[in-house]
A and B are shown apart, each in its own frame.
Chain A
């Protein structure tokens, strides 16, 4: 991947401005909500690789994740945590990205096993992605091949601490530096890669739209969508809506 944009320093300007602008009540509310948020986490029920085999023990009676307030959740829209349990094949990575984009902020990604860090066992494999953080912002890594349930629990507790301190903000990077992530995704999936979610629109919604949100890669995406008449990003849904309405008539 020779043409990937080098990792640049995070553009923290927006966040600094927003923090300063908060008054004391807002800050108190933030602290409280972080406290609550850390104690009620839903893990998306999606097993991407072998590490998933240690999740059932972690979730059920023996290691009992629920005592930490963590539960599996079946839909991405209600989940807080995306566990990447090991290697992600290119085919899975697409689904992971689709899923991740559907999750609502704040959202956290945990990379489990060696494979998410540097390719792991499958470093020679043509079919798996090697460095997960090139495609998604990752909050926490848990080492092991695969990590034991105890390690998974420790990792989750670390994440909880991080959330409580208000430091688990990696998800904001996805909006702030969308161009970087999109570029890496395009390198892997081809220039026509696009997802149903309009990230730039969402970035504006979250007030996270920054200088690095757009660039050559997003330009390529926008060009593609214009050419294929997909300017309305949620076009399929609207089409469907209109169809059902017609049906009703």
Chain B
């Protein structure tokens, strides 16, 4: 007896095997699968198999009030939930023509950038584990946890913050809290050199990651690659700069780039972005400390009687994984008529991953997946 999906091993005489890489595989990121056809340990063909985390988010959102959806959206991407909230809030604000208080925008940037740091630490922790370097994973996850502590103190939740709502944020952040974050940033900055020593300058890692899963700029553009993965090909595109939202146009930061386009370059871009994000957060803290306003939310309608004017909007946010967009359609009702979520990983984890893995070696599959920072729940929604 076999499960419907349990495919028979192909005849050995062709020297090619079909292998289910995941969903229950330590090398896969999240609950996701790749069906790879291997010849020896060389991958001849690969096909992504998703849907293990499918919850029908877009359908669920159509059935809930505009305010209720703030609880639903962060769950689309588990490791980096803040951009999801942000993107949804931006869309609703655009439709409702809300004027968000300046302080709220800076608070949101604070959340977004901390979330980016946390997600990056998590990702190269995971990447390190795929090349057998567990210490780095332990460090990355432990340091990420310190950021989660900050989130807990600011928003009341460790992983799902549900902090950003259309019109502003739910709570203010006090000066003491900002000082704590400042201290944490000092600590993280010191840790960066530790990470360099242990991981980014580590020969084993460099040898494994260099020239693995190379993306040329042309390929990257035509395959719809975005975010750090695109910047690793030498293209300095960043939604924060190109399609500025919140107060990113008032913030000084560099777009981190690398040129090689391989797994190493992608990680180095993340490493540089860590420093940039820390730099951004420091600016935000400066601003928030000087700013004496307590206005953190514009007047939103009673959540139980809230109709959003009919219209449609496409909002984009730079998440830690790339370009995240929401297409929100309202027919003037109390619930969204349609919400389409374009997670960055819907490109990275499917077509790009399939293409990069093909021709490579089996041992690199996990590494490539982590270097692309593919997030399956975003794909499946």
Asked if the two chains touch in their complex, CB atoms less than 8 Å apart, one says: yes
What is A's interface to B at a CB cutoff of 8 Å? 44-50, 52-54, 56-57, 60-62, 72, 74, 76, 87, 89, 91-92, 94-95, 98-99, 121-122, 124-128, 145-146, 148, 192, 194-196, 198, 225, 230, 233, 235-236, 240, 243-244, 247
- Does chain A have a CB within 8 A of B60? yes
* Set of chain A residues within 8 Å of B201, measured between Cβ atoms: none
Closest Cβ of chain B to A49, distance in Å, is 7
* Set of chain A residues within 8 Å of B125, measured between Cβ atoms: 56
For the complex with contacts A87-B55, A98-B3, A192-B4, 6 further pairs of A-B residues with Cβ separation under 8 Å are: A46-B24, A57-B145, A74-B26, A89-B52, A128-B55, A194-B1
Report yes or no: A89 in contact with B12, Cβ–Cβ below 8 A.
Answer: no
Interface residues of B in 2-54 (CB under 8 A from A): 2-6, 8-9, 11-13, 23-26, 30-31, 51-54
- Does chain A have a CB within 8 A of B100? no
Determine the distance from Cα of A127 to Cα of B52 in the docked complex, in whole angstroms: 10
Report yes or no: A92 in contact with B23, Cβ–Cβ below 8 A.
Answer: yes
Report yes or no: A235 in contact with B145, Cβ–Cβ below 8 A.
Answer: no
* Set of chain A residues within 8 Å of B270, measured between Cβ atoms: none
- Does chain A have a CB within 8 A of B154? no
Residue in contact with A194 in the complex, picked from B2, B24, B56, CB distance below 8 Å: B2
Report yes or no: A95 in contact with B24, Cβ–Cβ below 8 A.
Answer: yes
Report yes or no: A56 in contact with B2, Cβ–Cβ below 8 A.
Answer: no
Report yes or no: A89 in contact with B23, Cβ–Cβ below 8 A.
Answer: no
Decide: A60 near B158, CB < 8 A? Known: A87-B55, A128-B55. no
Which 7 A-B residue pairs are closest in the complex by CB-CB distance?
A: A194-B1, A74-B26, A92-B52, A60-B141, A46-B24, A53-B78, A50-B78
Decide: A125 near B56, CB < 8 A? Known: A50-B75, A60-B137, A243-B12. yes
Determine the distance from Cα of A54 to Cα of B78 in the docked complex, in whole angstroms: 10
Residue in contact with A225 in the complex, picked from B1, B11, B13, B51, CB distance below 8 Å: B1
Residue in contact with B142 in the complex, picked from A45, A62, A76, A145, CB distance below 8 Å: A62
13 contacts between A and B (CB under 8 A): A54-B159, A60-B137, A61-B142, A74-B25, A89-B380, A91-B54, A92-B31, A121-B71, A122-B55, A125-B59, A196-B2, A230-B1, A240-B9
Residue in contact with B8 in the complex, picked from A48, A91, A236, CB distance below 8 Å: A236
* Set of chain B residues within 8 Å of A72, measured between Cβ atoms: 26
- Does chain A have a CB within 8 A of B377? yes
Report yes or no: B31 in contact with A126, Cβ–Cβ below 8 A.
Answer: no
* Set of chain A residues within 8 Å of B4, measured between Cβ atoms: 192
Determine the distance from Cα of A235 to Cα of B6 in the docked complex, in whole angstroms: 13
Report yes or no: B3 in contact with A94, Cβ–Cβ below 8 A.
Answer: yes
Determine the distance from Cα of A240 to Cα of B9 in the docked complex, in whole angstroms: 8
* Set of chain A residues within 8 Å of B75, measured between Cβ atoms: 50, 121
* Set of chain B residues within 8 Å of A230, measured between Cβ atoms: 1-2
Decide: A236 near B12, CB < 8 A? Known: A50-B75, A62-B141, A89-B51. no
With most chain A CB atoms within 10 A of its CB, the pick from B25, B26, B78 is B78
* Set of chain B residues within 8 Å of A121, measured between Cβ atoms: 71-72, 75
Report yes or no: B1 in contact with A195, Cβ–Cβ below 8 A.
Answer: yes
- Does chain A have a CB within 8 A of B217? no
Report yes or no: B141 in contact with A125, Cβ–Cβ below 8 A.
Answer: no
Report yes or no: B159 in contact with A48, Cβ–Cβ below 8 A.
Answer: no
Report yes or no: B24 in contact with A76, Cβ–Cβ below 8 A.
Answer: yes
Closest Cβ of chain A to B126, distance in Å, is 8
Chain A residue at minimal CB-CB distance from B144:
A57
Determine the distance from Cα of A156 to Cα of B374 in the docked complex, in whole angstroms: 30
* Set of chain B residues within 8 Å of A54, measured between Cβ atoms: 158-159
- Does chain A have a CB within 8 A of B163? no
Chain B residue at minimal CB-CB distance from A92:
B52
- Does chain A have a CB within 8 A of B160? yes
- Does chain A have a CB within 8 A of B360? no
- Does chain A have a CB within 8 A of B79? yes
* Set of chain B residues within 8 Å of A56, measured between Cβ atoms: 122, 125, 137, 141
Report yes or no: A89 in contact with B53, Cβ–Cβ below 8 A.
Answer: yes
Report yes or no: B59 in contact with A126, Cβ–Cβ below 8 A.
Answer: yes
Decide: A91 near B3, CB < 8 A? Known: A57-B141, A60-B141. no
* Set of chain A residues within 8 Å of B148, measured between Cβ atoms: 57
* Set of chain B residues within 8 Å of A122, measured between Cβ atoms: 55-56, 60
Chain A residue at minimal CB-CB distance from B30:
A47
Chain B residue at minimal CB-CB distance from A50:
B78
Report yes or no: B23 in contact with A127, Cβ–Cβ below 8 A.
Answer: no
Determine the distance from Cα of A196 to Cα of B122 in the docked complex, in whole angstroms: 36
Closest Cβ of chain B to A24, distance in Å, is 42
- Does chain A have a CB within 8 A of B138? yes
Determine the distance from Cα of A92 to Cα of B52 in the docked complex, in whole angstroms: 5
* Set of chain B residues within 8 Å of A146, measured between Cβ atoms: 159-160
Report yes or no: B53 in contact with A92, Cβ–Cβ below 8 A.
Answer: yes
Report yes or no: B6 in contact with A196, Cβ–Cβ below 8 A.
Answer: yes
* Set of chain B residues within 8 Å of A62, measured between Cβ atoms: 141-142, 145
Residue in contact with A53 in the complex, picked from B26, B79, B380, CB distance below 8 Å: B79
Determine the distance from Cα of A60 to Cα of B30 in the docked complex, in whole angstroms: 17
- Does chain A have a CB within 8 A of B63? yes
With most chain B CB atoms within 10 A of its CB, the pick from A92, A99, A225 is A92
